[in-house]
Chain A
Amino acid sequence: MTAIRKYWIALIFSGLSLAAFAQHDHEHHPQQTGDQHEQPNQTDHAQTAAAAGGAHGDCGHPIDEVKEGEFNAGETAIHHIADANAVHIFGNLYLHLPCILYAPGHGWTLTTTSAFHPHHHGNGEVSKKGYVLVHGNVMRIKDPAFAAGEYNIEGYTHKEIEKDGKTKTIYSALINGECKELDPKSTLDGGIMGGGITSFYDYSITRNVFTMILTALLLFFLFRVAATTAMRREGQAPKGLQNFLEPFYTFIRDDVARPAIGPKYEKYMPFLLSVFFFILGLNLIGQIPFFPGSANVTGNISVTIVLALITFVIMLLSSNKHFWEHTLWMPGIPPVLKILILTPVEILGLFLRPFTLLLRLFANITAGHIVILCFVGLIFIFGKAGTSVGGSITGVLAAIPLSLFMMALELLVAFLQAFIFTMLSATYFGMALEEPHHDHH
């Protein structure tokens, strides 16, 4: 009886979260529906942009211009999994976060996202010291004439250009009827992924950083409660939260650390536990479809790079002579084979380990978020972006079971990926620590 009731609660909850998603997207695309309260400003911007495009070369299209009845689920999903400087809560309500920006030659700029007066879609109405807010992300006006002071932004446009055989999106801000090209923040991909070093660096507390701090604090609070209970009730049976968290601890200890690392496992326990709960916490909080959840933190490569690098560094620091001997100069193999095949492959494998570690977590979590967002997007695709009520209902009926299935799967993936990351880290430490066996030579 109670089981059935639980399923109903889960079903209702998932329906509500879908509604929250839908509401979110609805708020994001007010001008998609022709009969809705039109924003006069926005239309003006579009017209100005078109006019500007005519007068000063091609500025591209206004960024939020969507043809009636069209909905690009992929673009919406990509937008939602990305990091952002302002946290969108609902409607026009934002959680404004600090911006720490650095432009070489112009120094540091400390402000918050509220300084850009964001309205619909997280687009700022003013520029501040050359920075603007586009889709909740800070960008910078390339033109040094705007590097100081505040300017009113009339709208934003984007266009696609072909450069070195790659398609690149150029954003522009409309100031006084002229479109000014914008720089995205610098990224360290060296242009391979379409980013690169630009005119400024963004060290802000972003949505992902905010979620990480929140998750870390929440986890610390939970574990601190368990730890104080454990200390206070020494010699007594475990109780409450302590009873809930201790099995996780013993699971990591008995099923991950001890079998993979061996007798020296105890030294690695704090890291393995930290990384397990950090990833698990972020994965789970990322599953919550509304504020303060939904941030795609472990699905951002910057986060997984750091975690995998720390694992790699610990592995290198723990490595013994035996490990390097087997990596660089495998005994019992002819030297020619070693130089030509084995050693290069082993060295490649050494660096592939952290690489696969970071890629696996990133890809799994990002893919999960995209799939759920696309399923929710079915509502808008079937409903022709809000113009067809019947289609929307069909979309809802399709989206609920699909999203429910996907969310259940993602719940599994959240645990699985945290476990795999921890398990592989422990295995790498174990490999680095392995002592020579007598039957080897």
Chain B
Amino acid sequence: MLFLADFSVIKPDPGLLIWTTVIFGLFWFLMSRFAFKPIAESLKKRESDIQYSLDEAKRVREEMANLQAENEKLLQQAREERTQMLKEAKEAAEEYRAEKKALADQEYRRKVESALQDIENQKLAAMVALQNQAGQLAVEIAEKVLRKELADKSAQEAYAKNLAESIKLN
């Protein structure tokens, strides 16, 4: 019987009601202002930071992939270019060589020609000289012969006559 009469926890007590309201109200205000707000802000910031970091990592990874693909492309391009260049160089060299060869041939021919010309010229000169020499010799011989043959007067005259005749024929 004492049980129910003393069971005071079920009787609303005005003092406790007021004090609970005051204490909980203050607790609510102070906690939300000075504890939950900074914690919420830091959590939110951290969450956005983590999200940003993840996004950033993803973006960077994609960028890296892109970059790698681009590098690959560039490399391929470079390789192709190199082949092209080598080919071109070879062709150019070939062309150059051919040109040089043609030039050399031309020169050679020109030189041969000029040599032949020279030879011809020399030959002509030699011929001229030989002719001159032969003429000289002939004159000298003729002089000597003449001197000998034309020691007497009649021979001289006969000979002159003969000469004159041969010149006419010439």
A residues near B, CB below 8 A? 72, 74-75, 78-79, 81-83, 100, 160, 167-169, 185-189, 193-195, 201-206, 208-209, 212-213, 216, 219-220, 223-224, 226-228, 230-231, 234-235, 238, 242, 245-246, 249-250, 269-271, 273-275, 277-278, 296, 299-303, 305-307, 310, 362, 366
Q: How far is the CB of B51 from chain A (nearest CB, A)?
A: 14
Query: 13 additional contacts, CB 8 Å, given A209-B16, A245-B39?
Result: A75-B6, A169-B6, A187-B14, A188-B12, A194-B11, A203-B18, A226-B39, A235-B46, A274-B28, A277-B31, A305-B17, A306-B17, A306-B21
Q: Which of B1-49 contact A (CB under 8 A)?
A: 1-21, 23-24, 26-28, 30-32, 34-43, 45-46, 49
Q: How far is the CB of B21 from chain A (nearest CB, A)?
A: 5
Q: Are A208 and B24 in contact (CB under 8 A)?
A: no
A75 to B1, CA, bound (A): 10
Most buried by A among B1, B5, B28, B40: B5
Q: Are A209 and B19 in contact (CB under 8 A)?
A: yes
A226 to B41, CA, bound (A): 12
Q: Are A249 and B31 in contact (CB under 8 A)?
A: no
A270 to B33, CA, bound (A): 9
> Chain B residue with minimal CB distance to A271?
B28
A100 to B49, CA, bound (A): 52
Q: Are A234 and B42 in contact (CB under 8 A)?
A: yes
| With known contacts A75-B6, A362-B9, A250–B43 Cβ distance under 8 A | yes
Q: How far is the CB of B8 from chain A (nearest CB, A)?
A: 5
Q: Which residue of A160, A224, A296 contacts B9 across the interface (Cβ within 8 Å)?
A: A296
Q: How far is the CB of B10 from chain A (nearest CB, A)?
A: 5
B45 proximity list for chain A (CB < 8 A)? 234-235
Q: Are B28 and A270 in contact (CB under 8 A)?
A: yes
Q: Are B6 and A216 in contact (CB under 8 A)?
A: no
| With known contacts A209-B16, A219-B27, A274-B31, A194–B4 Cβ distance under 8 A | yes
Q: Are B15 and A74 in contact (CB under 8 A)?
A: no
A172 to B3, CA, bound (A): 18
| With known contacts A223-B35, A234-B45, A278–B27 Cβ distance under 8 A | yes
List 30 interface pairs A-B (beta carbons < 8 Å), by A numbering.
A75-B6, A82-B8, A82-B9, A160-B2, A167-B5, A169-B5, A187-B14, A188-B11, A188-B13, A193-B10, A195-B11, A201-B15, A208-B19, A216-B23, A216-B26, A223-B39, A224-B34, A226-B39, A228-B38, A230-B41, A235-B45, A245-B39, A246-B43, A249-B43, A269-B36, A271-B28, A271-B32, A299-B9, A301-B11, A366-B9
Closest 10 CB pairs of A and B: A270-B32, A223-B35, A230-B42, A187-B11, A302-B16, A195-B11, A227-B38, A306-B20, A203-B15, A188-B12
Q: Are B6 and A79 in contact (CB under 8 A)?
A: yes
A179 to B89, CA, bound (A): 130
Q: Are A227 and B9 in contact (CB under 8 A)?
A: no
Q: Are A75 and B2 in contact (CB under 8 A)?
A: yes
| With known contacts A188-B13, A195-B11, A274-B32, A230–B38 Cβ distance under 8 A | yes
Q: Which residue of A228, A274, A300 contacts B24 across the interface (Cβ within 8 Å)?
A: A274
B35 proximity list for chain A (CB < 8 A)? 220, 223-224, 226-227
Q: Are B40 and A249 in contact (CB under 8 A)?
A: yes
A230 proximity list for chain B (CB < 8 A)? 38-39, 41-43
| With known contacts A224-B35, A231-B38, A249-B43, A187–B24 Cβ distance under 8 A | no
A75 to B43, CA, bound (A): 49
Q: Which residue of A216, A224, A301 contacts B27 across the interface (Cβ within 8 Å)?
A: A216
Q: How far is the CB of A156 from chain B (nearest CB, A)?
A: 14
B8 proximity list for chain A (CB < 8 A)? 82-83, 187, 195
Q: How far is the CB of A97 from chain B (nearest CB, A)?
A: 12
A160 to B3, CA, bound (A): 11
A278 proximity list for chain B (CB < 8 A)? 24, 27
Q: Are B19 and A220 in contact (CB under 8 A)?
A: no
Q: Are B16 and A75 in contact (CB under 8 A)?
A: no
A100 proximity list for chain B (CB < 8 A)? 15
Q: How far is the CB of B37 from chain A (nearest CB, A)?
A: 8
Q: How far is the CB of A426 from chain B (nearest CB, A)?
A: 15
Q: Are B10 and A273 in contact (CB under 8 A)?
A: no
> Chain A residue with minimal CB distance to B16?
A302
Q: Are B39 and A188 in contact (CB under 8 A)?
A: no
A277 to B89, CA, bound (A): 84
B21 proximity list for chain A (CB < 8 A)? 306
A81 to B7, CA, bound (A): 9
